Structure 1
């Protein structure tokens, strides 16, 4: 899964999304902080290919994008919107192909602008980056070639606090950045940076009113690093494990902090927090919870009360576990609960 798969709906309930045997499933709280519904399949019998991407708009709606097969060696992208956790998502609707037609070209990324329009980014057949955006009154604008070369899997799309969409993508030898200069405008290339990015480790989030930050693991040093355009990449701490981190901004003891979580090499979830945009101060991992299967992933969110919620999910077993921050100073979590 590409993006945060634990999302807060506008009615205060949490939802989770997960791929499962050629499909996408979702689960939701029956009431805020209450018991959970059983998993349900999204979009009926539609078969999906690997690479589910998830994004949340400022209106609280969830947007999901995936590839579906449409013939021999041919696929196209499909999109659905989820308005409320206890209401089924809309059916999958076609969003096209970056090269008009062909095979799957890469894992998509999705971000939603201040007007609630999904922006879908994916590597094209030529190794560059392409995008398609929703129109204000329904349907999709034409596909756009954003250029670029040597784009790798799993780009990271993010909406800044300004409501403008940005994109980070690992390319051969570094990271490239695109951003909207005005709401609704076509994202344009910004500066890039040289870096040895471990595949599949990009994660981006808004970290101030003006800035977004991309986190990644340096494949040479094994360190978790942060980069903001206009600055140099900053090492934060040695990566706890091989996969991507989840990240969220939250207030800890009155301070604006960025919290990251990752499945560690021990199999448990490791957490580290630092003052937002002050990576030079470093961070320290603290492990929590039981040992998890090797395919387990982690996601972080804030609930309707602004309380941190951490979730782990194993696609092979379907086991979902949650832990909530205790109502006390520091970052202590309550017990992990299987749901």
Structure 2
């Protein structure tokens, strides 16, 4: 999944989204902190292609986007809204193709603005970025070409605390940043940064009233943080090859950014530091059992405000969960499979 696949719903229940073959599955808590339901299929029986995305708005509704085959060598994007974890998501609805028709291009990215309007970003046939946004009155607007060249798969969409939508993407030797200057406007390409980026490692997080932070791994293997308008900062060496999960939370009364990543050795590692103060330093602490090679880490705060970590493997469907203990520091309760 592109986006935060572990989320807390409007009713406080946690849920996860899991690609499984030609379908997308969801699972949810029955009660906060309790047992979990079995997996259900999102959006009906239609078969999906690889690469789905999720975005969540301030209303805590989840917006899901995926590709669906429509014919020989042709596909369309489809969208579903999931209002509450224990309710069934809406059926998939087609929302078109950035080039009107054609094959699947790349994994989409989704962000939801302050008014609950989903913004879908995807690569077009020319290697640039196209966007489709919901109208406030319902339905969808027209596709917009946001430009860009040789943009790589694995974009990161994020909504700032201002409610405005931003997008980060990588191209060879470059990071690109688009942002809305005003709510509801088309995002514009605001900045290009020359830097090396490992494909598939972008993750964006709102970290202040006006700024978002992009986390990525550079070609030397360092996990870096970049806020547009400044220079990237090395946080610490990446724990493993995949994407990092990031959560802004309160730890012992301090505004902190918590990171989690599957390590090279197969466990999950955590690091925390004061938000936007990368110079304070951070270090990894490993936790939990050995994981499947495709397992990823997720972070969220639960209904009681406790940091909750999860690992999920698409190949096995194994979901492990651990919550923070009610004590100083970042000690976690024992990991349990749900």
TM-score after normalising by structure 1: 0.99
- Tell me how far apart the structure 1 counterparts of residues 182 and 310 of structure 2 sit (CA, whole Å): 35
Helix, strand or coil for the counterpart of 1:26? strand
Shift of 1:195: 1.1
- Tell me how far apart the structure 2 counterparts of residues 71 and 82 of structure 1 sit (CA, whole Å): 27
Shift of 1:280: 1.8
Shift of 1:44: 1.6
- Tell me how far apart the structure 2 counterparts of residues 130 and 157 of structure 1 sit (CA, whole Å): 13
The residue aligned with 2:261 is 262
Gaps of 5+ in 2: none
Q: Does 1:33 align with 2:37?
A: no
- Tell me how far apart the structure 2 counterparts of residues 180 and 279 of structure 1 sit (CA, whole Å): 26
The residue aligned with 1:280 is 279
The residue aligned with 2:214 is 214
The residue aligned with 1:93 is 93
- Tell me how far apart the structure 2 counterparts of residues 135 and 95 of structure 1 sit (CA, whole Å): 13
Q: Does 1:119 align with 2:111?
A: no
The residue aligned with 1:48 is 48
Helix, strand or coil for the counterpart of 2:166? strand
Q: Does 1:13 align with 2:13?
A: yes
Helix, strand or coil for the counterpart of 2:191? coil
- Tell me how far apart the structure 1 counterparts of residues 313 and 191 of structure 2 sit (CA, whole Å): 37
1:254-300, Cα deviation, whole Å (9 max, x unpaired): 11110010000010000000111111222100000000010101110
Once the two structures are superposed, the pairs formed by residues 58-137 of structure 1 within 5 Å of their partners are 58-137=58-137
Helix, strand or coil for the counterpart of 2:279? helix
Aligned length: 338
Once the two structures are superposed, the pairs formed by residues 146-161 of structure 1 within 5 Å of their partners are 146-161=146-161
Shift of 1:43: 1.5
- Tell me how far apart the structure 1 counterparts of residues 265 and 324 of structure 2 sit (CA, whole Å): 22
Shift of 1:234: 0.3
The residue aligned with 2:167 is 167
Runs of 4+ in 1 over 4 A off after TM superposition: none
Shift of 1:172: 1.6
Gaps of 5+ in 1: none
Shift of 1:304: 1.4
1:60-115, Cα deviation, whole Å (9 max, x unpaired): 10111100100011011001000011110000011111111101111100000000
The residue aligned with 1:313 is 312
- Tell me how far apart the structure 2 counterparts of residues 63 and 304 of structure 1 sit (CA, whole Å): 20
Shift of 1:137: 2.1
- Tell me how far apart the structure 1 counterparts of residues 259 and 174 of structure 2 sit (CA, whole Å): 22
Helix, strand or coil for the counterpart of 2:215? strand
1:154-197, Cα deviation, whole Å (9 max, x unpaired): 10000000000000001121110000011111101111111111
Once the two structures are superposed, the pairs formed by residues 295-306 of structure 1 within 5 Å of their partners are 295-306=294-305
- Tell me how far apart the structure 2 counterparts of residues 25 and 269 of structure 1 sit (CA, whole Å): 23
1:17-53, Cα deviation, whole Å (9 max, x unpaired): 0000100000010011111000001122110011110
Shift of 1:138: 1.7
Shift of 1:232: 0.4
Once the two structures are superposed, the pairs formed by residues 189-200 of structure 1 within 5 Å of their partners are 189-200=189-200
Shift of 1:139: 1.2
- Tell me how far apart the structure 2 counterparts of residues 95 and 332 of structure 1 sit (CA, whole Å): 44
